[in-house]
Amino acid sequence: MFNILVAEDNEKLRQLMCTVLSKNGYHPVPAEDGRQALDILDTQYIDLIISDIMMPHVDGYDLARKLRESGYAKPILMVTAKESFTDKQRAYGIGIDDYMVKPIDVNEMILRVGALLRRAKIATERMLRIGGLTLDYDTITVRRGEESTQLPQKEFYLLYKLLAYPNKIFTRQQLMDEIWGMDSETDERTVDVHINRLRDRFKDTGEFEITTVRGLGYKAVKHV
């Protein structure tokens, strides 16, 4: 089930969007403003964000900007009463993926959420298959044939992230921000420790390898 963060300070609209999302098979995660949304993102995995613009503490512009600057790549759907071209231009310039003007048709919102998830190449079953290996996101397990291994959570998320974007270079900070959280006080060298553990676990596999890009970070290279 996909986790959809709904950042909206209007309680009735927030509840409505969450109810509609839930009825359509999504798991809504409500947030009263952008600050609470950032707190949630530190502790929960979110597949897509629906955000208002005009919110107290941290508005939708700042929320999207902070996320994109940190390397967060999940889809962002902006839902707002601000309808001018300048407002839309600013939002898309920050890096949002879609824009809806209030009052919205919640059924259209559901269609857009589905399209954004497909566009982000997130498989409906939340699995990755590389040769004879299958990574199951919901159970954080790696399977080969009848054998199944459940990895420590952070190791699995790290492996899944790298293999979902083969040959893409991720800096340590990008991986830290997305997997450990942007406000984590853990040293980014923790990424190195987890990478070494993954290399040791999968040293005999022929499907992929995790390579170090000197001065930049890491990338996964598929061999199948």
Domain with CATH 3.40.50.2300 in the chain: 3-119
Classify domain 127-222 by CATH number: 1.10.10.10
What is the pLDDT, as a whole number, of residue 43?
A: 85
Tokens of 145: 């044939």
CB–CB of 6/17 below 8 Å? yes
Write the CA distances from 53 to 1, 19, 101, 206, integer angstroms.
26, 21, 11, 47
CA atoms within 13 A on the CB side of 91: 27
Angle at 180 between CA 178 and CA 186, to 5 degrees: 135
Q: For residues 193-209, give the mean pLDDT.
A: 93
Q: For residues 36-60, give the mean pLDDT.
A: 92
| pTM greater than 0.85 | no
For 24-41, b where at least 16 C-beta lie within 10 A, e where not — what string? bebebbbbbbbbbbbebb
Domain with CATH 1.10.10.10 in the chain: 127-222
For every residue of 109-145, DSSP letters joined together read: HHHHHHHHHHHTT--TT-EEEETTEEEETTTTEEEET
CB–CB of 63/38 below 8 Å? yes
pLDDT, one tens digit per residue, over 126-155 is 778 888 899 998 889 999 988 999 999 999
Assign domain 3-119 to its CATH superfamily.
Answer: Response regulator (3.40.50.2300)
